[in-house]
A and B are shown apart, each in its own frame.
Chain A
Amino acid sequence: MTRFQAFLPRRCLWRIVLSAVLLGPAAGAIAAGYPVVTNARLLHAASDNGWLMFLRDYTGDSYAPFREISTRNVSGLKPAWDYKIGMRQGFEGSPIVNGRYMFVTTPKDHLIAFDAVTGKVLWKYQKSLAGVGLKTVCCDVVNRGVALYGNNVYMATLDNYVVALNAQTGKVVWQKQIKPADVGYAMTLAPLTLEGMVIVGTSGGEYGARDFVVALDANTGREIWRQYTVPSPGQPGSDTWPKGKIYRHGGGSAWLTGTYDPSSNTLFWGGGNPGPWLARLRPGKNLFTDSLQAFNPRTGQRKWYYQYTPHDSWDYDGVNTPMITSLTYHGRRYQAIVHADRNGWLYVIDRRTHKLIYAVPFAHAISLAGFRDGLPYTDDAVRPAVGKQIFTCPSFLGGKNWWPASVDPATHMVYVPTIHTCMTMKGAPTFYKPGLPYLGETFKVVHDPNDSNWGALQAFDLDTGKRAWNRETRLPWDAGAMSTAGGLVFSGTPQGHLLALDARTGQVLWKSPKLSSGIIAPPVTYRVDGTQYVAILAGWGGATPIWGGDMVKSVANIPVGGHLYVYSLK
């Protein structure tokens, strides 16, 4: 099932041991040991020198307090090291860094450990997918990265395993399958480790799955709790579904990593689109699809929710990251959730009252027409039916897809990767069959008639809800954003450039040479021995080339192939 290779030759090991003995711990070599990832370190990951989890820390804000690379000197960024991985599918992973160890996942669930300073490969692991058809993986066979706890590294796989490996050796410690493969479920997300648990969620909203979030014991893999995003009859929320068995295929996929608020001991996790896509087949609000869900992390019990799109018929997953921050709006201080939804609206929600503070559209938004008493309502005229084709915005790919936004506490801005797409959509006959999609709609992504570009990176001032700057691009903005205390926002382009922008103005201050492929991953940054590094995976793919309709032509000639690049000022 597993393959493990140690890449340190014996001669090399002896040299490292000898160096460590002669130079002492100050030498900082990788042989000094693996820094154990404790609960305390995870709680303070924001100020850690590494990049300990998917979006750096539990807030999910993708903000690093590092200043070595700043607006003043970013033009001097140089390649530190790089590593050609290959493979022709999309690379959506965040490199995760602890001390000098970096962990990088690839499509089809390979995992590579590097020395984060030299780029030396320490070990490789490849999840065997033999006998797995990958029939119910919607949007490229991607993996978004690992989680860390203790001496282990955790990966979620396309065949629904959670695999725990020893971080120093790559040896499998345990693995547990949470659902069979190829019958509707898959996993592409980076797990979240929290208080001795490893927490993951399933994909499958396009395949008649009934999705869930599940917490496993990080030491053993034992299941601690499992919470479905679609309730069974009699459970809270079940009255928002038709009677009968349709809930069994109700979707609500939980395919992107959640966030955690220690002050209220609340785990936040998005619920994805309901299934089948055609809403007329499942009258009701269809909780807790397209919803922010607040869980007790010890039990999985749902504390409260906020539904972004009621009775969705447009595949507007509500899984985009619920970022935890505080802000001042109209003179009042709020503990907030900030979330840029697929439906084209930026939601700012009060974590204490669970009510909407405000919402503003960040993309052309027709389907989600507005808000009454803080709750969203939809435009019924753009609900498709069999024999009725509609035109609406955004497309099902969203005003923003999964690519992480970033919140910068210094500028009070949120940086939102954006795509300008609309779509036609029509009801279609469908049937449920395990292993096949379950949609009930046909569709085509087209240009937003109000915007001649496919993409943009936008900044919104969270204290006012107003757009601060907007960087429009001919091609879609398909990469994550990361901000730093150096006054910078980093993100990548389909053309294969890593950019550093001025966080206050959006001006491009540095642009990497053209990399070997386009970028759909989020950048990360880390520090070792006082040197700040920025790392990014290039490797075009993901949902856009598969589902992108008219957008596909514009990205058809982007070269593919994975390649890891690391930059620093030295």
Chain B
Amino acid sequence: MSIRLLQISAYVLVLSALLLQRAEAASPPPALYTRSQALQGASAFEWKCASCHGHHLQGGVGPALEGPVFASAKSGFTIQQIYEFLSVEMPAYAPGSLTRTQYLDITAFLLQQNGYPAGSRALTDRIASESTVPLLFQAVVQAPAGVAKSRAGAGKPLAIPRTNAP
């Protein structure tokens, strides 16, 4: 095979990989938790996490936990990494002190606040521990009238993701 042919093949391969990546990025985020879990998670977050991370996850003495800076491609967090970390080391004043259900609910709430849709299947310890799904902030479209973006403890309806709203 000539060098020229090799170069062309390499370009084709790279181009294909890029296109595949774009296709993946454009695909709707999966529904990994239930609405009920996110609601429970909002309550647990308010009680156990908001003092450091802010009532709206906007950050305070601890980092913001929603938005394009936190859940960025540059950060490259997966759901498994976030779940493993927070269920072992959080809250900082008493790591590991919450119940497994509370950690799952809080993970569901973080997913919801970063634009991931709720679904019919509950997030389980096994799913969260094995999920290689990247945590990438999903832009939120303007909510329809009467529907606001959900915030911790506010008891408002859920966020409306750009795609795949359940």
* Interface residues, chain A, with chain B CB atoms under 8 Å away: 88-90, 131-135, 137, 140-141, 182, 428-431, 433-437, 439, 442-445, 541, 545-549, 552
Contact = CB atoms under 8 A, between A and B. Distances in A.
Given A431-B81, A546-B93, A442 B88 contact: yes
Interface string B62-105: 11100001101001110001101100110011111100000000
A397 to B, nearest CB: 11
A428 B75 CA distance: 23
B31 interface: no
B157 interface: no
Contact of B85 (A141, A182, A436): A436
Given A132-B69, A541-B61, A547 B92 contact: yes
Is chain A's interface secondary structure helix, strand, loop, or mixed overall?
A: loop
Contact of B93 (A88, A131, A429, A552): A552
B52 interface: yes
Contacts of A541: 61
B131 interface: no
Contact of B81 (A428, A436, A545): A436
B59 interface: yes
Contact of A545 (B51, B72, B82, B88): B51
A436 B79 CA distance: 13
A442 B81 CA distance: 17
B30 interface: no
The 6 A-B residue pairs with the shortest CB-CB distance in the complex, in nearest-first order: A442-B95, A140-B61, A133-B69, A135-B63, A442-B96, A552-B93
A140 B85 CA distance: 19
Given A431-B81, A437-B85, A442-B88, A135 B75 contact: yes
Contact of A547 (B81, B93, B96): B93
Contact of B69 (A131, A443, A549): A131
A281 to B, nearest CB: 15
Contacts of B93: 444-445, 546-549, 552
Contacts of B64: 133-134
Nearest to A552: B93
Given A428-B89, A442-B89, A546-B52, A182 B96 contact: no
* Most chain A beta-carbon neighbours within 10 Å: one of B52, B85, B92: B92
Contacts of A547: 92-93
B137 to A, nearest CB: 11
Contact of A89 (B60, B77, B84, B96): B60
* Most chain A beta-carbon neighbours within 10 Å: one of B61, B64, B75, B82: B61
* Most chain B beta-carbon neighbours within 10 Å: one of A436, A445, A549, A552: A436
26 contacts: A89-B61, A132-B69, A133-B70, A133-B75, A134-B63, A135-B63, A137-B63, A428-B88, A428-B95, A429-B84, A431-B81, A433-B77, A434-B76, A435-B76, A436-B77, A436-B82, A444-B93, A444-B94, A444-B97, A445-B93, A545-B51, A546-B61, A546-B92, A547-B93, A548-B93, A549-B93
A428 B96 contact: yes
A208 B165 CA distance: 38
Given A141-B61, A436-B82, 8 more contacts: A133-B75, A135-B70, A428-B96, A433-B85, A437-B89, A439-B89, A546-B61, A549-B93
Nearest to B88: A428
B61 A90 contact: yes
Contacts of A548: 93
